[in-house]
Structures are given as structure tokens and as C-alpha cells.
Amino acid sequence: MADFADEYLPRLGELSGFIVCAKSPSCGMERVRLYDEKGNRGRKEGVGLFTGVLLEKYPWLPVEEDGRLHDPVLRENFVERVFALHELNTLRANGLTRRALLDFHSRYKLQLLAHHQAGYREIGPFVASVHEWKDLDAFFVAYREKTDGNTKATRFAKKPHQRADAHSGLLPRSVE
């Protein structure tokens, strides 16, 4: 299965998200039952073989189990990440420019704030350094990894959302 995943995944092209089957020995993302060499059932602590390769090769990719998408918070987070990554991939496909990356970040920075306040503060100086990077593709890869790491948090604290809303003008700053 791992060999199949190694061969199959690159043929899919630029992905924006992936939904896997819960509890599957090939596709489960978490809590997959492991068996020892004798076939004895073990604890539910593994990752499916295909999904393990997927997560290793595409650590920035939004991946979620089908059953977990019934949770509205997890579903919203997954869909947000898929749309953001799709737009970022489109920027790259259309000829990446520093201006396009800065515009993208301006559109999505409040989403970053809502998910991870500390990460939001850290990524600002990184984005400001885009003009110092000679290799724009290397910057893109680093930015993609940093932003995805900051948006994986799914259970939001009330205050960061209020801060994001206040920054966007939806709430007065006094609510903070």
C-alpha cells in the first residue's frame, strides 16, 4: 500500500485537500487499530498506510477523516484550509510574484489570527521579509508550511475570534 501511495500521489497533481476514510487500515488518519505480527489486536493508535505516506509527502495539505466532517467546527476549519490552499496554489500556477503573495497574505491574515494568535504575530515579520528572498519558490514553500501550521487549530478560543473580528471592523475594539 505504501508503494502504491508513493506512485499514485504524485500523479494527482497539485492538491488542495484530501478526505480519508476513518478507521481504515489503509486510509485512517488516526486511531487505526494496529495488529502485531501474530495478528493480535492492539490499541487504536496507528495511521493507515496510504494516509501515512500522504501526510509525510504533503505535510501542509488539509487532510480530514470522513466521519470527523460531521462536526461543524472541524468541517469549517477543513473547508477554510482547502479554499486558502487552492488560492495559494493558483497563485503559484499563474506565475508567482511577491505582490501576489503579499495580497494573498493581506486577505488571509485575519483567518490566521482567528486560529493561532501567536503564529499570526510570528508570520508578519516573515512575510515582510519576502523582498529579501532571492528564490520566491522557496519562500512560497516556507510560507505554505507556516500558514498551514497556524490554521490547523480547530477549536477556537473566544478571544482570538473577537480580536480577528475587531481587526476586520466587525466588532468595536472595546469588546476585546
* pLDDT tens digits, 91-147: 999 999 999 999 999 999 888 888 888 888 889 999 999 999 999 999 999 999 888
* Whole-number pLDDT of residue 36: 67
Q: Between β-strands 18-20 and 63-65, what pairing exists: parallel, antiparallel or unpaired? A: parallel
Count of other CB atoms within 10 angstroms of residue 125: 8
pLDDT (0 to 100) of residue 93: 94
- CA torsion through residues 116, 121, 123, 128, sign: positive
Mean pLDDT of 77-97: 93
Q: How many CA atoms lie within 13 A of 164 on its CB side?
A: 21
Determine the number of helices (DSSP H) and then strands (DSSP E) in the chain. 7, 4
| Res 174: pLDDT | 47
Name which of 53, 49, 78, 56 is nearest 65 in CA terms: 78
C-alpha cell read off for 166: 475587531
Per-residue pLDDT, 132: 95
Residue 13 identity: G
At residue 152, the pLDDT reads 63
Q: What percentage of the chain has pLDDT greater than the value 70?
A: 79
Q: What is the mean pLDDT of the chain?
A: 82
pLDDT of residue 171: 47
Question: Which residue's C-alpha cell is 478560543?
Answer: 157
pLDDT band at residue 175 using 50, 70 and 90 as cut-offs: very low
Residue extents of the structural domains in the chain: 1-67, 71-176
CA distances for 1 relative to 4, 9, 93, 95, 159, angstroms:
5, 12, 30, 35, 44
pLDDT of 84 above 50: yes
Highest mean pLDDT among 9-13, 32-36, 91-95, 116-120 belongs to: 91-95
Q: Is the pLDDT of residue 3 over 50?
A: yes
